[in-house]
């Protein structure tokens, strides 16, 4: 290391994700030097409360001593070894523990490095399964309107957020989106449950017609994150499970954003009492520390690939599949979830923050205020074209790192947030709403 100063205005060697780089002329990126708990510390001497858990990955704060200790311990023994032909204890322990805590019979774990790759794997595995089981026409996928499953070409093919998708449409597979159960788009006077049932009926009529060509339905259980934190009634998941069973179609649950307690249960599927055929996990899996993702599936899928022929195996690989440091971070994360009774503790925090946010909920410009577990969201009635940037900028002035998606403001804080920090966050948001 040397003392060379990073000059951010001219520092264009870094091309940032999800960013129009020209906007950094007006809003330069914040130089972060340190993190502790919910706080990120800038080189400017200021601190920012990470209200969105650094893109939804962080569960137990930055530089969590227990996760740090696990990684440091592992680092002195082995940093990485390939997972083909080799195996290590942390990946075995992680797979067994994940199977034990996820719903139903998801007894096999296939690892990758990020969420998009996990979804790619689930799509490929589902297709390949049907190929090997005598259903060669099942080559299509059905997804939900406004759903998000990542940015790689396969994952983007089943993503229905125009901002990310539109320009790449010619590169993508044919899309088959069905109506979303998100209650924001329900007709006035319709309950979330009725709206969800109506959307499920449309899924059923789609599959009644197209089941022979459909391998899988992919969805985000309970909350459509990148689509603006749209929330829906769990009855949709119950019906989707039944409909998929009726029409012999796999159900892929993308719990990448909602897994590990975000929705108030350890996994969102639990709230509907269902088991998917594939469950994709990433983000919080490693406590947000290291890139790690997993696709979990059942024995029937696993057995379909268990053959003598090499080309009937699932020949998919990522260089860092099952990375041992990431597995240790994940095991430390699972330890914290168990030892700290996190689901119960979070329930109290949810109640407390709902109280703090009452004035926000009642604010005249706030619409569709909603909460599920440790996620809150609302739309702000504000026609300014640069609302998103202005809100984020005003957030920084209130010590809040907050990034609305269009006019949808959401918070998704690390679970270790305390009452004082929750009050500060709620006060800051109200302050911004009154001045934007
Ligand atoms: C973030 C996200 C992904 C993509 O995960 P990456 O690790 O960013 O590739 C996929 N699905 C959902 C629901 C997500 O929220």
Residues 6+ apart with CB under 8 A from 305: 128, 129, 132, 312, 313, 314
283 is in an annotated binding site: yes
Question: From the CB of 255, is ligand 1 less than 6 Å away?
Answer: no
Rounded to whole angstroms, the Cα distance separating 19 from 99 reads 37
The residues, ordered by sequence, that sit 6+ positions from 10 with a Cβ below 8 Å of its Cβ are: none
Q: Is 23 annotated as a binding residue?
A: no
> What is the position in ligand 1's atom list of the atom closest to the CA of 55?
1
291 CA: nearest ligand 1 atom: 7
Tell me whether residue 254 is annotated as binding. yes
Q: Say what the pLDDT of residue 4 is.
A: 47
Task: State which ligand 1 atom lies nearest to the alpha carbon of 224.
Answer: 13
The set of residues, in sequence order, having a beta carbon less than 8 Å from that of 363 and lying 6+ positions away, is 430, 433, 434
CA neighbor of 230 nearest in space, from 198, 182, 166: 182
- Between the CA of residue 55 and those of 130, 160, 401, what are the distances in Å? 35, 19, 11
Asked whether the beta carbons of 374 and 412 are under 8 A apart, the reply is: yes
Domains parsed from the chain with CATH numbers:
68-340 (3.40.640.10), 341-434 (3.90.1150.10)
Q: What is the mean pLDDT of residues 371-385?
A: 97
CB 249 within 8 Å of CB 214: yes
Q: Is residue 317 annotated as involved in ligand binding?
A: yes
The finding on whether 256 has its CB within 6 A of some atom of ligand 1 is yes
Centre of ligand 1 from the C-alpha of residue 358, in Å: 30
Residue 157 Cα to ligand 1 middle (Å): 14
pLDDT at residue 8 in the model = 52
> What is the reported pLDDT for 26?
86
Is 115 close to ligand 1, i.e. is its CB under 6 Å away? yes
pLDDT in tens, 21-70: 998 988 889 999 999 999 999 999 999 999 999 999 999 999 999 999 99
At residue 3, the pLDDT reads 42
Cβ within 8 Å of residue 408, ≥6 positions away = 228, 229, 377, 378, 379
Mean pLDDT of 308-325: 96
Distance 54 CA to ligand 1 centre (A): 13
User: What's the mean per-residue pLDDT of the chain?
Assistant: 96
Helix axes 387-397, 419-435, angle to 10 degrees: 130
pLDDT digits (tens, 9 = 90+) for 347-376: 999 999 999 999 999 999 999 999 999 999
SS3 per-residue string spanning the chain: CCCCCCCCCCCCCCCCCCCCHHHHHCCCCCCEEEEEECEEEECCCCEEEECCHHHHCCCCCECCHHHHHHHHHHHCCCCCCCCCCCCCHHHHHHHHHHHHHCCCCCCEEEEECCHHHHHHHHHHHHHHHHHHCCCCCCCEEEEECCCCCCCCHHHHHCCCCHHHHHHHHHHCCCCCEECCCCHHHCCCCCCHHHHHHHHHHHHHHHHHHHHHHEEEEEECCCEECCCCCEECCCHHHHHHHHHHHHCCCEEEEECCCCCCCCCCCCCHHHHHCCCCCEEEECHHHHCCCCCCEEEEECHHHHHHCCCCCHHHCCCCCCCCCCCHHHHHHHHHHHHHHHHCCHHHHHHHHHHHHHHHCHHHHCCCCEEEEEEECCEEEEEECCCCCCHHHHHHHHHHHCCEECCCECCEEEECCCCCCCHHHHHHHHHHHHHHHHHC
How far does residue 122's CA lie from ligand 1's centre (Å)?
Answer: 13
Residue 140: pLDDT band with limits 50, 70, 90: very high
State the pLDDT at residue 303.
98
Q: Which pLDDT does position 399 carry in this prediction?
A: 98
Q: Locate the ligand 1 atom nearest the alpha carbon of residue 152 and give its number.
A: 9
Model confidence over 242-299: pLDDT tens digits?
999 999 999 999 999 999 999 999 999 999 999 999 999 999 999 999 999 999 999 9
Residue 120 CA to ligand 1 center (angstroms) comes to 11
Q: Does any ligand 1 atom lie closer than 6 A to the CB of residue 123?
A: no
- CA atoms of 260 and 43, how far apart (whole Å): 32
Burial of 139 (0-12, 13-18, 19+ CB in 10 A): middle
Mean pLDDT of 161-187: 97
Alpha-carbon distances of 122 from 11, 387, 407, 418, rounded to whole Å: 38, 37, 32, 37
* Structure tokens, 28: 């330069």
The predicted pLDDT at position 321 comes to 98
Quick check: 436 and 387 in contact, CB under 8 A?
yes
| Residue 60 token pair | 């137990």
Question: Residue 10 pLDDT > 80, yes or no?
Answer: no
Q: Is 148 in the pocket of ligand 1 (CB under 6 A)?
A: yes
pLDDT tens for 191-202 read 999 999 999 999
> Which atom of ligand 1 lies closest to the CA of 255?
13
CA–centroid distance, residue 152 to ligand 1 (Å): 10
- pLDDT given at position 6: 53
Nearest CA owner, ligand 1 atom 8: 115
Q: Would the pLDDT of 2 be above 50? A: no
Q: What angle do CA 395, 401, 407 make, to 5 degrees?
A: 60
What distance in Å separates the CA atoms of residue 44 and residue 34, rounded to the nearest whole number? 12
Please report how many Cα atoms fall inside a 13 Å half-sphere around the Cα of residue 106, on the Cβ side.
29
User: Atom 6 in ligand 1: which residue has the minimum CA distance?
Assistant: 115
Whether 279 and 106 have beta carbons less than 8 Å apart is answered as yes
Alpha carbon of 363 to ligand 1 centroid (Å): 31
Q: CA distances (Å), 93 to each of 59, 300, 324, 416, 434, in order? A: 20, 22, 11, 25, 50
321 is in an annotated binding site: no
401-430 average pLDDT score: 98
Q: Which residues have CB under 8 Å from 24's CB, separation 6+? A: 8, 9, 16
Is the CB of 282 inside a 6 Å radius of any atom of ligand 1? yes
Query: Which pLDDT tens digit goes with each residue over 109-135?
Result: 999 999 999 999 999 999 999 999 999
256 Cα–ligand 1 center, Å: 6
């Amino acid at each position: 290391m040397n003392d060379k100063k990073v000059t951010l205005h001219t520092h264009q060697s870094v091309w940032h994700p999800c960013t129009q780089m020209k906007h950094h002329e007006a809003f330069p990126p914040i130089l972060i030097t340190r993190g502790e708990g919910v706080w990120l510390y800038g080189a400017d001497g200021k601190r920012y409360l990470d209200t969105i858990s650094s893109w939804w990955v962080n569960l137990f704060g930055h530089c969590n001593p227990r996760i740090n200790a696990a990684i440091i311990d592992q680092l002195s023994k082995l940093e990485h070894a390939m997972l083909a032909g080799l195996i290590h204890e942390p990946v075995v322990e992680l797979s067994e523990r994940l199977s034990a805590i996820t719903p139903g019979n998801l007894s096999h774990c296939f690892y990758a490095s990020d969420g998009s790759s996990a979804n790619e794997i689930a799509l490929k595995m589902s297709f390949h399964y049907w190929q090997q089981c005598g259903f060669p026409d099942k080559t299509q996928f059905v997804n939900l309107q406004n759903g998000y499953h990542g940015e790689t070409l396969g994952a983007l093919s089943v993503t229905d957020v125009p901002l990310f998708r539109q320009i790449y449409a010619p590169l993508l597979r044919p899309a088959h989106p069905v109506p979303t159960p998100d209650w924001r788009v329900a007709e006035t006077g319709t309950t979330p449950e009725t709206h969800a049932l109506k959307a499920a009926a449309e899924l059923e009529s789609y599959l009644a017609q197209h089941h022979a060509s459909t391998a899988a339905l992919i969805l985000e259980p309970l909350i459509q994150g990148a689509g603006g934190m749209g929330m829906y009634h769990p009855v949709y998941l119950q019906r989707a499970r039944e409909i998929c069973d009726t029409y012999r179609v796999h159900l892929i649950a993308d719990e990448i954003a909602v897994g590990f307690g975000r929705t108030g249960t350890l996994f969102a599927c639990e709230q509907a009492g269902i088991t998917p055929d594939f469950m994709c996990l990433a983000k919080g899996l490693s406590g947000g520390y290291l890139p790690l993702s997993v696709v979990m599936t059942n024995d029937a899928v696993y057995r379909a690939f268990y053959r003598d022929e090499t080309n009937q195996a699932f020949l998919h690989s990522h260089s860092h599949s099952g990375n041992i440091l990431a597995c240790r971070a994940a095991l430390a994360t699972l330890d914290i979830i168990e030892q700290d009774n996190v689901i119960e503790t979070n329930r109290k925090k949810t109640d407390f923050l709902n109280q703090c946010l009452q004035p926000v909920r009642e604010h005249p410009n706030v619409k569709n205020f909603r909460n599920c577990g440790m996620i809150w969201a609302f739309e702000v009635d504000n026609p300014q074209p640069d609302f998103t940037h202005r809100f984020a900028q005003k957030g920084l002035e209130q010590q809040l790192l907050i990034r609305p998606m269009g006019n949808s403001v959401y918070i998704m804080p690390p679970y270790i947030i305390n009452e004082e920090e929750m009050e500060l966050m709620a006060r800051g948001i109200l302050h911004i709403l009154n001045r934007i």
